[in-house]
Amino acid sequence: MSTTINPNKALWEKGDFSRIAESMRESGEALVAILGITEELEVLDLGCGDGTTAVPAARLGANVLGVDIARNLVEAGNARAQSLGLANCRFQEGDASDLSELEDDSFDLVVSIFGAMFAPKPFDVAKEMVRVTRPGGRIVMGNWIPNDPTLVAQILKISSSYAPPPPEGFVSPMTWGVEENVIERFAGAGVPAENISFERDTYTFDFSGAPSELVAEFRAYYGPTMNAFEAAAASGREADLQTELEALFNAQNASPTEHATSIPAAFLRVTVAV
């Protein structure tokens, strides 16, 4: 029996995003705090990783389901929820492009922070998010912004200059950071533009080591950066990529000491009234 590899799943199972997520917990909590989460709200966190937003939402009393394509992150999320005694927070594997295991109109709030943007077939993703949200509910997405001068857009930009060109038909995840694309994709799911609002927001990466040590975490554990280093190694340019990333992280570090790292990164917060 042959099994087909899903490259999207393989990319995120390759490393261990939990290691990066450790630096994003405070911003995750701060974001969840402004979402008006109340007890018993039914929340879906899509592309949830190990629960940076799912866990604080559950702490506020919501019933949270985290769905992620990466099995290792689903396991890590369930382990976190269990160790925190959060019986109202569970994680399962699933693909944001096809949520057929979830019923229509199941959630009051669908949250996807730098999650669903990485799924292929963005029009299907928008349809699925709308389908599982009950009428009167909300979708909140956090999407990195293409060509933004801050951290994540620059990591992805630098990385892509070392990688081979993407396969034909590939839609960059960063296109979710462009308002017109978001409007078009939700229009395809039947949501009018006036139901969609946009805010520019900031996530801060906080790490207790120097910026170069955070680069090392990305190199060892963040799938897209791991792939970039593999591509760079194939053309003998690993050291150039390392130098470029270290220069970027150092330049963006807002910490008063060079032995710690605090890097703010801009993103587009999208709120959709369903």
Query: Which letter, b or e, does each residue of 150-167 get, where b requires 16 or more Cβ atoms within 10 Å of its Cβ?
Result: bbbbbbbebbbebeeeee
| 114 binding ligand SAM? (CB under 6 A) | yes
| 24 binding ligand SAM? (CB under 6 A) | yes
| 191 binding ligand SAM? (CB under 6 A) | no
Phi, psi for 252 (deg, rounded to 5): -90, -10
Please list, in sequence order, all residues whose beta carbon lies within 8 angstroms of the beta carbon of residue 89, skipping any fewer than 6 positions away: 51, 54, 55, 57, 58, 64, 66, 77, 81
102/119 with CB nearer ligand SAM: 119
Integer Cα distance of 203 and 51 in angstroms: 16
- Nearest residue relative to ligand SAM (C-beta): 49
Q: Single out the residue of 43, 119, 153, 232 in contact with ligand SAM (rule: CB under 6 A).
A: 119
CB of 97 to ligand SAM, least distance (A): 5
Burial of 104 from C-beta contacts in 10 A (0-12 / 13-18 / 19+): exposed
32/41 with CB nearer ligand SAM: 32
Integer Cα distance of 255 and 47 in angstroms: 29
Please give the structure tokens belonging to residue 266.
Answer: 């801009």
| 49 binding ligand SAM? (CB under 6 A) | yes
CB of 193 to ligand SAM, least distance (A): 25
Q: Single out the residue of 15, 77, 115, 211 in contact with ligand SAM (rule: CB under 6 A).
A: 115
69/126 with CB nearer ligand SAM: 69
Residue indicated by tokens 């995003």: 17
Taking the mean position of all CA atoms in its chain, how far away is CA 264? Answer: 16
Mode of pairing for the β-strands spanning 63-68 and 42-46: parallel
∠ CA 137-138-139, nearest 5°, is 140
Taking the mean position of all CA atoms in its chain, how far away is CA 77? Answer: 14
Q: Single out the residue of 69, 89, 102, 265 in contact with ligand SAM (rule: CB under 6 A).
A: 69
Total of residues contacting ligand SAM (CB under 6 A): 23
- Between residue 81 and residue 100, which ones bind ligand SAM under the rule CB under 6 A? 95-97
CB of 239 to ligand SAM, least distance (A): 26
Phi, psi for 36 (deg, rounded to 5): 65, 40
102/231 with CB nearer ligand SAM: 102
CB of 110 to ligand SAM, least distance (A): 12
42/95 with CB nearer ligand SAM: 95
Listed ranges 17-25, 100-108, 187-195, 255-263: which one lies at the site for ligand SAM (CB under 6 A): 17-25
Question: Residues interacting with ligand SAM, by CB under 6 A?
Answer: 8, 12, 17, 21, 24, 28, 47-49, 52-53, 68-70, 73, 95-97, 113-115, 118-119
